[in-house]
Chains A and B, each alone.
Chain A
Amino acid sequence: MQQRPLLGSVALYCAAAMIVFISVGPFLYMVATSFKTGSALFDPQIWPKNPTLANYTALFEGAQPFGRHLLNSIMVATLTVGFAILMGVTAAYALGRIRFKGKELLMLTLLGVSMFPQVAVLSGMFELIQSLGLFNRALGLVVPYTIFTLPFTVWILTTFMRDLPNELEEAAIMDGCGPLRIIFQVFMPLLWPALVSTGLLAFIGAWNEFLFALTFIVEDDQRTVPVGISLIAGATAFEIPWGSIMAASVIVTLPLLGLVLAFQKKIVSGLTAGAVKG
């Protein structure tokens, strides 16, 4: 490889620094703000003079059941991931490895479904949730979230499933495995990178979702975190409690960051493998 000229290196690192500043800056500011109270909130310096955890303790002691919201979010997101993976893998096995008529059409329909904007299906979904008796229950959110995340999950997993060697499946058949055993004991372990990336995306989707969470739930105890944060109120109608909001945002961001960091290697190999035949 050719040596880069000095000027080029300088420019490159400057550009990199810019990008890091632009993307990480707001996050750092968010973290910093969460440790400030009172008038310090409006002081532009990054690290506060008197850092305090008051915002965090206030969150859990305030009028809003923030801890409950957090638990709801974790429950909903985890269940969504579980259902999406379970249904995604079984569907992907059928779509990726079994030959049947209308497969292409089915795949395209799946893709089509994922193109509907949320608002378009909101009323229909409302009816569905209500008829299932899940209205006003955090658990009910698992239904729309799974529905919205499944097309993507199925597509990604189908691509992976298709690339697994035929002989492996045949070896399993010769060993006496039925389809379920092939899926769960032979293929699943080989699909880990894909499962981790699709699972993580499903988790993030469910974790961040706002519209359904706002519409289908009216009771405070059943809300999820994004709606919870939006409803954090100050002492008076004229005060926006920046400190609490930022503290809540930090708490909400941390699990995602942790997950992404823990699985980052798998995510990269998951999202790129199978894209190019190699």
Chain B
Amino acid sequence: MSRIEFNRVNKRYGPNLPLTIKDATLTVDDGEFCVFVGPSGCGKSTLLRCVAGLEDITSGDLSIGGVRVNDLPPAKRGVAMVFQSYALYPHMTVAQNMAFGLQVMGADKVAIAAKVKAAADILQLTPLMDRLPKMLSGGQRQRVAIGRAIVKEPKVFLFDEPLSNLDAALRVQTRLEIAKLHHDLGSASMIYVTHDQVEAMTLADKIVLLHTGALIEQRGSVAQVGSPMTLYHRPASTFVAEFIGSPKMNLLPGKLVSAEAGHARVEVAGLVLTASVDARAVPVGSAVQIGVRPEHMAVADSGEGAALPASLLHVERLGDSSLLYVNVGPGLPTMTVKMDGSVSRAAGSALTLRLVPEALHLFDSAGQACVRTVELPV
């Protein structure tokens, strides 16, 4: 009963301002962990606040568990929110913070105490119950904020960048805790907003990637909805392809030479590459872009795949891996290649990149992806 449906939701902050959210249509299923991700200014927090009821929806319908909630006040929607700055009540102890929402709703004391205690046990807050928020560390405050949400037993949990105020080590730990919490709570849906694609990839059952800037007006807010693996392996557009994956995907301009059901041939800088995509919808001879992820290329003088001569500009050695920045010809963008950590090539040396057809993506002149014809994880 916690299915959330957005039907053509628009949000405009002022009559003369552009749409912040345009034409958002998507579904978050029962018990699903959905992550809204996108660059800054994409409206992901706005969309979350629309679900919370903190923002009005300009047009369109939003329903939670089959009930249209556009006009319901936040407290009646069965949602609980965890804020970025935690927003704990500074003058209340941990226990009072967690109990406050239930008190406002008029629950009886015994029931409140039992729920607060149960939540405290789950989050290991029991020894801290009598402390004020200012006496807690960032991670503990975060747990109290989550506890405050849990006690309300909501149908939907909303997280607004909950980890962005934590340091790196704590972030990884809390990320795991949130994943575990989602598993333990079972039927409640979660919507989680982040700008960090690692959080999105690791936590999500479903990622909603949102457009930013002019793309909102052109194509609507939602860039792509799908599982993390879908967004990684089958990005619907160059926007998605470049946002998901780190370092980002390399894009090379080219011209479509021929297109068949299983593969297409593309000319890039005088070289013809074969990609395993179905590009029959794209007119032959038109401008296209070839995409290849840094981790899906090899550097080898001989072997499988088309050879792309390149010269090495710079090497970044990260220990477990190395990033090679290479120049593949005049007028072409610098490409990034991710290799193992033991690379010992000097800047300026020549090398050959190997591009296999199965690793290539193809985007038409508008940046829309052609369907890949290889077997891929989902």
Contact = CB atoms under 8 A, between A and B. Distances in A.
A124 B183 CA distance: 70
Contact of B101 (A168, A170, A176, A190): A176
Given A175-B75, A186-B89, A170 B83 contact: yes
A232 to B, nearest CB: 46
B188 to A, nearest CB: 15
Interface string B150-192: 0000000000000000000000000000000000000000000
B93 to A, nearest CB: 12
Contacts of B83: 167, 170-171
Contacts of A233: none
A171 B104 contact: no
Interface string B224-257: 0000000000000000000000000000000000
B75 A165 contact: no
A89 to B, nearest CB: 15
Nearest to B85: A167
Interface in B49-106: 52-54, 73-75, 79-81, 83-85, 87-91, 100-101, 104-105
A174 B89 contact: no
B328 to A, nearest CB: 48
A202 B79 CA distance: 43
Contact of A167 (B74, B84, B104, B105): B84
Contact of B105 (A170, A172, A173, A176): A176
B89 A173 contact: no
A174 B74 contact: yes
Interface string A174-206: 111100010000100110000000000000000
Most chain A CB within a 10 A radius of its CB, from B52, B53, B74, B88? B74
A159 B87 CA distance: 20
A167 B75 contact: no
Contact of A168 (B52, B54, B79, B89): B89
A2 B88 CA distance: 43
A175 B85 contact: no
A67 to B, nearest CB: 39
B87 A168 contact: yes
Classify chain B's interface size: 20 to 34
A174 B85 contact: no
B90 A173 contact: no
B85 A165 contact: yes
Q: How large is the interface on A (under 10, 10 to 19, 20 to 34, 35 or more residues)?
A: 10 to 19
Given A174-B75, A175-B75, A175-B101, A167 B87 contact: yes
B144 to A, nearest CB: 12
A168 B83 CA distance: 9
A166 B366 CA distance: 41
Interface string A61-92: 00000000000000000000000000000000
B54 A177 contact: no
A173 B158 CA distance: 14
Contact of A174 (B80, B84, B88, B90): B80
A175 B84 contact: no
Contacts of B89: 168, 171-172, 186
Given A176-B75, A176-B105, A171 B91 contact: no
Given A171-B87, A190-B91, A177 B81 contact: no
Contacts of B73: 173
A186 B148 CA distance: 15
B87 A165 contact: yes
Contacts of B53: 173-174
Contacts of A181: 104
Nearest to B104: A176
B225 to A, nearest CB: 26
A181 B79 CA distance: 20
Interface in A8-34: none
A170 B89 CA distance: 11
A189 B100 CA distance: 14
B52 A175 contact: no
Contacts of B90: 190
B153 to A, nearest CB: 14
Contacts of A168: 87, 89
Contacts of A167: 83-85, 87
Nearest first, the 10 closest Cβ-Cβ pairs linking A and B are: A176-B75, A175-B101, A167-B87, A171-B87, A189-B91, A176-B104, A167-B83, A174-B81, A174-B74, A168-B87
16 contacts: A167-B85, A170-B52, A170-B54, A170-B81, A171-B81, A171-B88, A171-B89, A173-B73, A174-B54, A174-B79, A174-B80, A176-B101, A176-B104, A176-B105, A190-B90, A190-B91
Interface of B: 52-54, 73-75, 79-81, 83-85, 87-91, 100-101, 104-105, 148
Given A165-B85, A165-B87, A173-B53, 4 more contacts: A173-B54, A176-B74, A186-B89, A190-B91
Interface of A: 165, 167-168, 170-177, 181, 186, 189-190
